[in-house]
């Protein structure tokens, strides 16, 4: 639980306090968030989903399929930019990016400009 609490406090410090956190069914994550809720006045709503890890892994399956033929990325900066672009295209295709009725290609080019 101590490691989970450290992780959540560091994430809150860097990104601000969220209203809602989705976690899987692990008890340490819930205990750490309950501990943080006791210390702060603003409560974080905790939503547990039993198969959350499966959902995340399923979402990244296509990204793994795309990157496997690349035979590895040579440095961290290149990998970061390439994966960000691949994930961005997946988000556009799934309709998770709000756009002004632009095609996926137009959204991608407007974001990369």
Both 41 and 71 in one domain: the answer is no
8 A C-beta contact, residue 9 and residue 36: yes
Statement to judge: residues 27 and 61 lie in one domain = no
Regarding pTM above 0.75, the answer is no
Range of the domain at 73: 54-112
Q: Are residues 24 and 64 in the same domain?
A: no
Q: Is 68 in the same domain as 93?
A: yes
Q: Are residues 7 and 23 in the same domain?
A: yes
Tell me phi and psi for residue 73, to 5 degrees.
-100, 140
Q: Are residues 59 and 42 in the same domain?
A: no
19 with 61, same domain?
no
* Number of domains composing the chain: 2
Q: How confident is the prediction along the chain (113 residues), in pLDDT tens digits per residue?
A: 788 899 999 999 988 999 999 888 888 999 999 999 999 888 999 988 877 777 777 777 888 888 888 777 788 888 888 888 888 888 777 777 665 667 777 777 776 65
């Amino acid at each position: 639980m101590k490691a989970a609490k450290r992780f959540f406090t560091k994430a809150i410090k860097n990104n601000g306090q969220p209203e809602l956190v989705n976690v899987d069914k692990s008890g340490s994550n819930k205990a750490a968030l309950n501990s943080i809720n006791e210390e702060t006045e603003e409560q974080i709503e905790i939503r547990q989903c039993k198969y959350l890890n499966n959902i995340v892994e399923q979402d990244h399956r296509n990204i793994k399929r795309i990157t496997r033929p690349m035979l590895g990325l040579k440095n961290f900066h290149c990998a970061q930019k390439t994966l960000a672009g691949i994930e961005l295209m997946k988000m556009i295709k799934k309709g998770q990016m709000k756009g002004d009725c632009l095609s996926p290609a137009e959204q991608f080019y407007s974001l990369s400009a």
